[in-house]
Structures are given as structure tokens and as C-alpha cells.
């Protein structure tokens, strides 16, 4: 069987800067995401994919691997989706990946000059990879495994199926999207054009991750309009916008903070504060798995602003809360074959399925509510969104096999 190596593709993709930009207000949020999209379109043509669609306006790529089974039986088209953009929290420019062969369990010096060390003391998960080959950063950028590992794994699966016609399979749909990291990955996703009945996002982490429950999510923002007065003559006149931002934060429950939560526990996460005496802003993300508790958190956020307006004057604090995505589990429950087939594909390969609620979100959540039930699969990447990010070569190759196992399951009579 012709089996291309997923790692060759991954190392090629991570060198392309595709960071999205939450402040851009465009789709895609950065034009450089087109650089990877164009490469993927070219590679899809080379390997013989069908019905390739490149949405040049919004940077979506769709393609089909036609069924090669002609027995007249009805099989659903199954889709696989990954996003092309990377987080803007750490630079994604000039990524220089390095392979650490047969990791020995000790510290990995990512950047000696900057004293950046990937240590099992700080990241205990590393100890599970002794003997494996790891792809790491040079300590100055992120790696981009979120989600170029998923992109590479889907592309490798596609090439295997298209170059090995003796492997029976039903119709397979694949798609690559922009702007997932800023919550806009499905803004212009065309479910009808995609053409799958069910799908999986390949955007998780640890080998075995199988995720079909996620946070309900919203963003929250306050803008404080202060009054700047010379501090020597400020008594009963000044309204310090920056201090009111901190006062607002103090009204939120101390332990509803990511630093103190786990499992299904929700939180308020302060992501950014800007400004001074005259004007200041604070941005938050609000999360909870439970819909009722999620609604309560949003109400508390608004009430905190209203309290401060009563204290300092109407209009001093402006507040907005914007829903981002919802918990996908309600849309997955009627289609648990998606979970059962993924679990079987994993266990057949000796991989233990890990079913935990996502403490985050995925495009699959939005897609599920758009009529495309879409749980999330692992990629073999770790420590996303930072310079300590790494990926396991052995796990990435295993993920490709898991995707092929799922394809095989849906190639049988449904």
C-alpha cells in the first residue's frame, strides 16, 4: 500500500504563517491564510481529488474523495474538517520546527539564548512520550499543530485513499477553514456545498481524545468612559476608567477563573485590559458546559456593569455580551454511531478512547447546530498556542490510521 508520511506534510505546512486576527473584522481575518489554502488546493489536484472548490472570497477549501464501492447500497457521505489558521497569542512567523528523536524524558532546550526549556517538571505530559520522536519549536514561535496537524492528517488520509483504489470506501468529503482561532471558522462555511451528512473535526490534542461535549461560549466586553482631571484638583471630579475596570473585575466571583476550574466548571476569563483615566476597556470570554449556569454567568456580567452605572452614573460603563457557540452534545446524542465508530477505530489500533468534555470550543460545535453533526478527534499535538507546543510523530501517524478506520466503518453497510 502506498502510504505517504504525514510528517513531511506537517513540516511543510507549519512554515506557512497563517495567524488569524481577532481585530480585523474581515473574512478571512488575514490574507496570509490564503497561502496555505492555495497550497492545499494544488496538492488536492495532484493527488486526484474531485469537486475541488476554493472559496477565494472567504478562504474555504472543499474537496471530495468519490466512493469506490458500487454495490447499490446507501451510505452517508462522511466529512473531515480542520482549520488552517493558528493562534495570534504567540508569533507564527518563521516557524522553525525541530525533531527530537527518541525523547529521553529529560529537559528539551528549545532556545539556549532565551533560556526557553520544555521540561517534564512544568509539563508532566512529556513523560508519556519517552522513546517517541517529538516535533518542537525553536522557542520563539508557536508550532502550529493546532491545527496544521489535523490538516496534514486529513491530507495524508486523502492521498492514501486516492492512490490505493483497492481500499474500499464510501464518499468522503474534506474541508479546510479559516479563522477558527477567533471563533469565526464557520461564518461562511457552506454545509450544502460541503455535502456530507456527518463529519468530524480533527482538531483535538492527546491521542485518543474523542470530544463531543464542549463549553457554551460568549465574549464579553466593557468600555468605561471616565473623566480625566488634573490629579491636583481631582476630588469629587475625576472618574478613573482604568480603576473602574478593575472594580468591575472584582465583582466577578474569584474562583470562577480558569486558574481554579476544571472538568465541567465554567469561568470568566479576562483576556485583555487597555486604557487609562479617560477611557478603558476590558475583554472577557465566558464559558460553561451547563446551559443554565451559562445564562447565569452572562446575567452576572451584565449586572456588574449596571451596579457600577448606579454608583458612578448612567453610561459610564457600556457592556456587550455576544454568544459564540453552544454545547454540541445535544446535536450528537441522536447520532451516537459517530462516537461508536470512532471508538472502534481507536480500540482496533490499541488506542484507548478518552471521552472528556472540551474545556474550549471547536468548529464542530457550530457545525452541529448548522445541521452537520460533528464531534472532534485527536491530532497528537500538545501545549497549543505557545512556544512550548509540540507534537508526537508516532501519535500523528496513528491518527491517520484512526481516520482510515472511521472511513472503513462507514464504507460498510450503514
Please state the rounded mean pLDDT for residues 290-315.
97
Report the percent of the chain where pLDDT is more than 70.
99
Spatial contact of 318 and 225, defined as CB atoms under 8 Å apart: yes
Cβ-based burial of 261 (10 A; exposed 0-12, middle 13-18, buried ≥19): middle
Domains identified in the chain and CATH numbers: 6-213+327-411 (3.40.630.10), 216-325 (3.30.70.360)
203 is in an annotated binding site: yes
Just list the catalytic residues.
85, 180
The pLDDT score that the predictor gives to residue 62 is 98
225 marked among binding-site residues: no
pLDDT greater at residue 52 or residue 71: 52
pLDDT digits (tens, 9 = 90+) for 339-373: 999 999 999 999 999 998 888 777 898 999 999 99
Q: Cβ(135)–Cβ(391) under 8 Å?
A: yes
- Is 166 annotated to bind a ligand? Reply is no
pLDDT score, position 219:
95
What pLDDT was estimated at residue 413?
62
**Cα separation of 262 and 253, whole Å?**
16
Determine whether the annotation assigns residue 83 to a binding site.
yes
pLDDT of 363? 87
pLDDT at position 397: 98
181 is in an annotated binding site: yes
pLDDT exceeds cutoff 80 at 414:
no
Q: Is 353 exposed, middle or buried (0-12, 13-18, 19+ CB in 10 A)?
A: middle
Mean pLDDT calculated for residue range 132-144: 98
Amino acid at each position: 500500500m502506498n502510504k505517504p508520511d504525514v510528517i513531511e506534510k506537517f513540516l511543510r505546512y507549519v512554515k506557512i504563517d497563517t495567524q488569524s486576527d481577532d481585530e480585523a473584522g474581515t473574512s478571512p481575518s488575514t490574507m496570509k491564510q490564503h497561502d496555505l489554502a492555495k497550497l492545499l488546493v494544488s496538492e488536492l489536484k495532484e493527488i486526484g481529488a474531485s469537486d475541488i472548490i476554493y472559496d477565494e472570497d472567504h478562504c474555504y477549501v472543499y474537496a471530495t474523495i468519490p466512493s469506490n464501492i458500487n454495490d447499490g447500497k446507501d451510505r452517508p457521505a462522511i466529512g473531515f474538517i480542520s482549520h488552517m489558521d493558528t493562534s495570534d497569542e504567540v508569533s507564527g512567523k518563521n516557524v522553525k520546527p525541530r525533531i527530537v528523536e527518541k525523547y529521553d524524558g529529560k529537559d528539551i532546550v528549545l532556545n539556549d539564548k532565551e533560556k526557553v526549556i520544555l521540561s517534564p517538571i512544568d509539563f508532566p505530559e512529556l513523560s508519556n512520550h519517552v522513546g517517541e520522536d517529538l516535533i518542537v519549536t525553536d522557542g520563539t514561535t508557536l508550532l502550529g499543530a493546532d491545527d496544521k496537524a489535523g490538516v496534514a492528517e486529513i491530507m495524508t488520509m486523502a492521498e492514501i485513499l486516492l492512490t490505493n483504489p483497492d481500499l474500499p470506501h464510501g464518499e468522503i468529503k474534506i474541508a479546510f477553514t479559516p479563522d477558527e482561532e477567533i471563533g469565526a471558522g464557520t461564518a461562511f462555511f457552506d454545509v450544502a456545498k460541503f455535502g456530507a451528512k456527518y463529519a468530524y473535526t480533527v482538531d483535538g490534542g492527546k491521542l485518543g481524545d474523542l470530544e463531543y461535549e464542549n463549553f457554551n461560549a460568549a465574549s464579553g466586553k466593557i468600555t468605561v468612559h471616565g473623566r480625566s482631571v488634573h490629579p491636583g484638583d481631582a476630588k469629587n471630579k475625576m472618574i478613573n476608567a482604568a480603576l473602574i475596570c478593575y472594580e468591575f473585575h472584582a465583582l466577578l466571583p474569584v474562583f470562577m477563573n480558569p486558574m481554579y476550574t476544571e472538568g465541567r466548571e465554567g469561568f470568566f476569563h479576562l483576556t485583555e485590559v487597555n486604557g487609562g483615566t479617560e477611557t478603558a476597556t476590558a475583554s472577557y470570554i465566558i464559558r460553561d458546559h451547563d446551559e443554565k449556569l451559562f445564562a447565569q454567568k452572562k446575567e452576572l456580567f451584565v449586572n456588574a456593569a449596571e451596579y457600577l452605572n448606579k454608583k458612578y452614573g448612567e453610561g459610564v460603563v457600556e457592556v456587550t455580551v455576544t454568544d459564540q457557540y453552544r454545547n454540541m452534545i445535544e446535536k450528537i446524542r441522536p447520532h451516537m454511531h459517530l462516537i461508536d465508530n470512532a471508538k472502534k477505530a481507536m480500540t482496533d489500533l490499541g488506542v484507548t478512547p478518552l471521552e472528556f468534555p472540551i474545556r474550549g470550543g471547536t468548529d464542530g460545535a457550530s457545525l452541529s447546530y448548522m445541521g452537520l453533526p460533528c464531534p472532534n478527534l485527536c491530532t497528537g499535538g500538545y501545549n497549543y498556542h505557545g512556544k512550548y507546543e509540540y507534537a508526537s510523530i508516532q501519535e500523528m501517524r496513528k491518527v491517520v490510521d484512526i481516520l482510515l478506520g472511521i472511513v472503513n466503518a462507514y464504507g460498510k453497510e450503514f
